[in-house]
Amino acid sequence: MPPPSNLPLARGYQLLNYTIVKQLSAGGFSIVYLAHDEHDQPVAIKEYLPNALALRSEGERVLATSADNLALFRHGMKCFFEEGKTLAQIRHPNVVRVINFFRANETVYMVMEYERGRTLQKEIQLTEGGVKENMILYVFAHLLNGLREVHLKKMLHLDIKPANLYIRRDGSPVLLDFGSAREALNQSAMSKFTPMYTPGFASPEQYAERDKLGPWSDLYSVGASIFACMSGMAPQAADQRAKDDRYQSVKKAWAGKYSPRLLELVDWCLELDPLKRPQSVREVQKILVDIAAEPLIKQGGLLNSLKNTVSRLGRMDILAGGKGEQK
């Protein structure tokens, strides 16, 4: 039987200088709220609240469900707090900005800038016949710029998927909802949790052999996310692929619809063996920028060029890991 869900904080609840407006989302690990600060500016607040370990049945205090779970809850809280501290040091337009983190109600809160737009998942759902190549190149080249900053801080994201890739109203992407603290809990108490990774997007190392996790693990998820842009769905889950691999090369499946090098890149990122994948974000960035410099294949009966896309990406800026303002 799954553990009971936690009750969210009530509308109007005052949390330091933030006023809760409504719940935005909830999962097995946390609850995310829309709130307003003292200047009436919107922020997103993530509350550490793993259902398997702690419960809020009424009021605002969070209590561990048993003495055994208390140590695990505190370990996860420490990881969540440390993740917030690290993310607060990252100032990059393609990574969600953490502006505050604090302890209250026997748990921890992470305050982030509130972004307006829609997820890449929503974009995929609204696009018939697959997301266009120029958009894939633009979104992922910028996104990898942000991911590179994360890796330079010795962090992994571990939950990259279209639902966590947000497209702002100006078209620039931002990486949301890190899974590093969840991964730490997974390693500490496998039996306590239902998996906190997303089948199809999680790398094989997240199911087993976690000592092999590295930048290449996030790049598996990048490949799976581009796959979803093309097909409208996630590839076969990595744990199932390890037993009976039914993955069909996108180079064969979508030949003629997307450029060969982009298809080769997806196949490369989705290798089951971590050592056979790209080992760094820079490797993938370079390929995306090189593809953007080539003539775009025919889409929708028109032969287009990616000159505009290349100028938006800023070839040298991307390869240098630049942090310029997105246009």
Per residue of the chain (327 residues), what is the pLDDT tens digit?
A: 555 678 899 999 999 999 999 999 887 788 999 999 999 999 999 999 988 888 887 777 888 888 888 988 888 888 888 888 888 888 999 999 999 999 999 999 999 999 999 999 999 999 988 999 999 999 999 999 999 999 998 888 989 999 999 999 888 999 988 866 555 555 554 444 445 678 999 999 988 887 899 999 999 999 999 999 999 999 999 999 999 999 999 998 899 999 999 999 999 999 999 999 999 999 999 999 999 887 654 443 333 433 443 344 444 343 334 433 333
Nearest to 277 by CA among 265, 293, 287, 289: 265
* CATH number for the domain formed by residue range(s) 117-319: 1.10.510.10
CATH number for 16-113 (one of 3.10.129.10, 3.40.50.720, 3.40.640.10, 3.30.200.20): it is 3.30.200.20
Cα–Cα dist 64/73, whole Å: 7
For the beta carbon of residue 59, count every other beta carbon within 10 angstroms.
Answer: 11
Note the pTM of the prediction, 2 decimals: 0.83
Backbone conformation region of residue 217, classed left if phi is above 0, alpha if psi is from -120 to 50, else beta: alpha
Do 306 and 296 form a contact (C-beta atoms < 8 A)?
A: yes
Token duo for residue 121? 């998942």
The domain limits of the chain are 16-113, 117-319
Cα–Cα dist 223/104, whole Å: 38
Cα–Cα dist 15/35, whole Å: 9
Cα–Cα dist 11/217, whole Å: 38
